Chains A and B, each alone.
Chain A
Amino acid sequence: MVEPRATLLDLLRNQLELTGAKEACDLGACGACTLEVGGKTVNACMVLALDCEGAEILTVEGLSDGEKLHPLQQSFVEADALQCGYCTCGMLMSAHACLAANPGAGSREIREALAGNLCRCGTYPRVFEACEKAAHTMLRDAGARKGGKR
């Protein structure tokens, strides 16, 4: 049962035990609970669970393909785009939505997409580096797939 006052974040963390999305400010100010509802990013602490009935929700737990990491996750690991890791899943989701909407996103677009994600350890430069690298990989892979079909 979902209580009418439960947020999407409450539902995921407390009932479904999907704890990748974090609760850090509970006010939509930090982005640690960012996830995608119908392909658009939301702060899950600001959305009522019942309003999402029937919607497709993507959390960080769904980013990887089984054991195979998403290119963004892979580049976060390689570039050390995390320290304590509490903001990381939110960063990944904002970056994912940004690159899904705009595969050619450059440094400026990536920074803007991450403007709602706060990190107190100070990983931003590493995060930008990881996102740019992943964007490159994803474009290349998409190109390869297209080329393969031809």
Chain B
Amino acid sequence: MSAQEKKLRVGSPLMHRRIAATPDAGDAPPWDLDTRHALVGKRIPRLDALAKVSGRARFPSDVRPGDLLYAAVLRSAIPAGMVKRIELGPALRMPGVEGGVLAKEPGKKIRYQGDELCAVCATSRAAAEEALRKVTLELEPSEHTAERAGEARQKLPEADPLPTSLAEVGEAEGDEVELTHVYETQTQMHHPLEPHGITARVGADSSVDVWASTQATFGMRAGIAKALEIPQEKVRVHTEHMGGGFGSKLSPGVEARLCALLAKQTGKPVQLFVDRRAEALAVGNRPASLQCLKVKASKAGKILEWSGKTIGLTGYAGSGRVTSPVSFYLPGKRARLGHEDLRDNQGSARAFRAPGHPQGFFAAESIVDELAYRVGMDPLEFRLKNLAGTLYTEQLKLAAKEIDWERHSNRSPGRVSGGERSLRGVGMAITTWGIWASRGTQVLCRIHPSGRVEVRNGAQDIGTGSRTVLGIITAETLGIPVERVDVFLGDTKDPVGPGSGGSMTAASLSPPARHAAWQAGKELLARIAEQAGRKVEDLKLTGGEVRIAGGRKLSWDRACAALGNDPVEALGKSLGRWKGFATRVSGCQLADVSVDLDTGHVRPNRIVAVQDCGTVVDMLTAESQVIGGVIQGIGYALFEERTTDPKLGRVMNTDLEQYRIPGSMEMPEIVPVLLRGNNGHNNSGVAGLGEPPTIPTAGAIANAVRNATGVRMHRLPMTPARVLEGLERMKIGRRS
């Protein structure tokens, strides 16, 4: 069969073009912007919602196999040093204790407060925790480097002096304006509500079952196999549901390894979920950054030069690199950017929803915004001018209309005419994210004689709605209601799937799911044609029915019943990879905030988030993703910050009272605006969505504070104390 070229209209409703694509033989016909869908893009409740609202959904921490033992981990209380002596003997003799393993032998280094020393398991967690107190332990402390922000500041060029009046931040004189600003971002913790951990059971034949709270079932399988020195095929990972990860559960951690070793040692199932304190200390974070940016613009409003030096404070390992939107603002020109990571004796950096981006976009969007005011231009107009020719201009205009920029943008930041106690402003920022998918992903589709369709992949649904995406793509392809589809995810006995990182899951699962359903549908037709003595070309699957040339119709149920005892099945692969519309998604957010001049509180009133993500498979869950991204962005902008005692090197806020994540009382109105697009890379045109909506929120809020008050915030989170410091310095409000 020769491949046939197809013309596709791809992109988004705001900007699109025609491409030529040549589908692989046997692949489903590609969708494009002109495709009329029955289900794709509608508002469909997630397929596992019933299990989750009824309490029936079993998370990995809910699994209770018989004879279950509970494990607990002993962690270092000091940030740096060496293990001199560690003996489990006395702990193992405690009542209820059945096993114990060392995480560090004597002589090993302590890298941070919370570093794992050993683990024991017992018949209850209380018994395990009690036993840990009996471990014979001697640690030799050494000098720590837990707090290096001060040292990092010394490495950066000197910034412009901070302004002390509104007069200094108005339109500048001269043909060009150059600003040198330093921005600082904090260490943010992931804090998924389900802690990190697994439940493990080693069978008599040395095969292992693991129920893991993971973002990557296949990565977990490899990690457990390595820890137990057995082949991967001996390990089966189950992750039917899991309670959030945000990047911190992409690789199997020490806790998983220790749990597997305890299960092997005791021959009984063992559960090890770390406590909230360990969540704060030991399972990763978004690393802090210091960023010095020097940007020059012409008075006509064109950005001319951009250079910067950035520093990441990574903890004992990981990357603190920051990513900025400079390439969009300076197309075709080279920005001079340098980066350095500083290691210290704290918990390590890990991937956190759009690694490097929220920090980089906060700094870059802040200085771009400030330049607009200094060249005497409206911040929207300044961006439209510098982003001309990109999708951003259309998205910004759309968002500006939605938030009513003309009416709500404050034209005189910081001006207090009467006795106002608060000022209101609107700020904006852009976002981007690459479109990635795993090539190896395969999806199994089985049509049963009962009329039900079974879809299987071994990857996990981390709450983003992957299960529902698979169900909708399958149902749409076969022309049946989504209620007819049973989706099974999170079992590594099923075909291989992606880790849920890089916003890859939906983009990786959709093309093979559509390919599998298409192939299975064709096979169903072939079987019916054979029975009816017709040619397969005479049969069509449409609207949930099989239509036979000449007018005869078969309902879906009758067609499937004709399969007798043999379901049809097909394995879908990741085909396609055409050039498509773009290699990145784009979006922007506009935030309307109020700043209390007496208390320094920043209260977001309304945030409009415009986002493209290729094909929107389910509008309901896609919007939820955007809303969730914005809310994590609000936490990053206003509340969340790990604080460490610089003398002791110990983290001071290891619980959810002292480390504040956004709650119900801090919610603004959030308006997600999803663009129904199609990226044109393959049969389904889906791009990722998890990460981009959390990137611009902090920048948009900071720029709204600037629009309201004239105060440029250089440091996250924008706590009341920091905002008040700025208001007082600029002599704004009644306190000044």
Contacts and interface: CB of A to CB of B under 8 A. Distances in A.
Interface of A: 3, 5-6, 10, 13-14, 17-27, 29-30, 32, 59-61, 63-64, 69, 73, 76-78, 80, 82-89, 92, 111-112, 114-115, 117-128
Nearest to B241: A85
A30 B193 contact: yes
Contact of B628 (A6, A88, A123): A123
B193 A87 contact: yes
Contact of B194 (A84, A111, A115, A118): A84
A10 B669 CA distance: 37
Interface stretch (B57-65, B171-179, B359-367): B57-65
A23 B61 contact: yes
A61 B55 contact: yes
Given A60-B55, A85-B243, A121-B463, 4 more contacts: A63-B54, A80-B49, A83-B463, A120-B246
A14 B624 CA distance: 32
Contacts of A32: 193
B281 to A, nearest CB: 14
Interface in B168-206: 190-195
Contacts of B243: 22, 24, 84-86
A84 B192 contact: yes
A125 B627 contact: yes
Contacts of B655: 25, 27, 29
Contacts of B630: 122
A115 B193 contact: no
Contacts of B53: 60, 69, 73, 76-77, 82, 88-89, 92
Contacts of B273: 23
Nearest to A130: B53
B665 A59 contact: no
B126 interface: yes
Contacts of B57: 85
B276 interface: yes
Contacts of B670: 125
Contacts of B665: 111-112, 115
A91 B670 CA distance: 20
A128 B53 CA distance: 15
B285 interface: no
A39 B668 CA distance: 31
Contacts of A60: 53-55
Given A27-B276, A32-B193, A85-B48, A122 B631 contact: yes
B696 to A, nearest CB: 15
A99 B273 CA distance: 34
A77 B49 contact: yes
Contacts of A128: 664, 667
A124 B126 contact: no
Contacts of A124: 631, 662-664, 667
Nearest to B55: A20
27 contacts: A10-B126, A20-B55, A21-B55, A22-B61, A23-B61, A23-B273, A24-B195, A25-B655, A60-B53, A60-B54, A80-B620, A82-B52, A83-B244, A85-B51, A85-B241, A89-B53, A111-B664, A112-B664, A114-B664, A118-B656, A120-B191, A120-B192, A120-B244, A124-B664, A126-B624, A126-B627, A128-B667
Contact of B624 (A5, A80, A118): A80
A117 B55 contact: no
Contacts of A118: 193, 656, 661, 663
Contact of B45 (A3, A77, A115): A77
B340 to A, nearest CB: 31
Contacts of A123: 624, 627-628
Interface of B: 45-46, 48-59, 61-62, 64, 124, 126, 190-195, 241-244, 246, 273, 275-276, 462-465, 620-621, 623-625, 627-632, 655-657, 661-665, 667, 669-670
Contacts of A25: 276, 655-656
A148 B165 CA distance: 69
A115 B665 CA distance: 6
Contact of B193 (A14, A22, A126): A22
Contacts of A17: 64
Nearest to A73: B53
Nearest to B462: A84
Nearest to A87: B193
A14 B52 CA distance: 19
B59 A86 contact: yes
A22 B276 CA distance: 13
Contact of A22 (B59, B64, B656): B59
A3 B54 CA distance: 28
B193 A120 contact: yes
Chain A to chain B: the 6 pairs with minimum beta-carbon distance, closest first: A20-B55, A84-B463, A122-B631, A86-B243, A122-B628, A85-B52
Given A14-B64, A85-B241, A64 B656 contact: no
A24 B194 contact: yes
Contact of A80 (B61, B192, B621): B621
A10 B68 CA distance: 14
A21 B656 CA distance: 18
Contacts of B624: 80, 83, 123, 126
A64 to B, nearest CB: 6
A84 B54 CA distance: 14
Contacts of B193: 22, 24, 30, 32, 84, 86-87, 118-120
Contacts of A59: 55
Contacts of B50: 69, 77
Given A84-B242, A85-B57, A76 B49 contact: yes
Contact of A24 (B54, B126, B276, B627): B276
A124 to B, nearest CB: 5
Nearest to A82: B52
Among A6, A60, A77, A125, chain B packs the most CB atoms within 10 A around the CB of A125
A27 B193 CA distance: 13
Contacts of B625: 83
A120 B636 CA distance: 12
Contacts of B194: 22, 24, 84, 86
A121 B244 contact: yes
A17 to B, nearest CB: 5
Nearest to B44: A80
Contacts of B192: 84, 86, 120
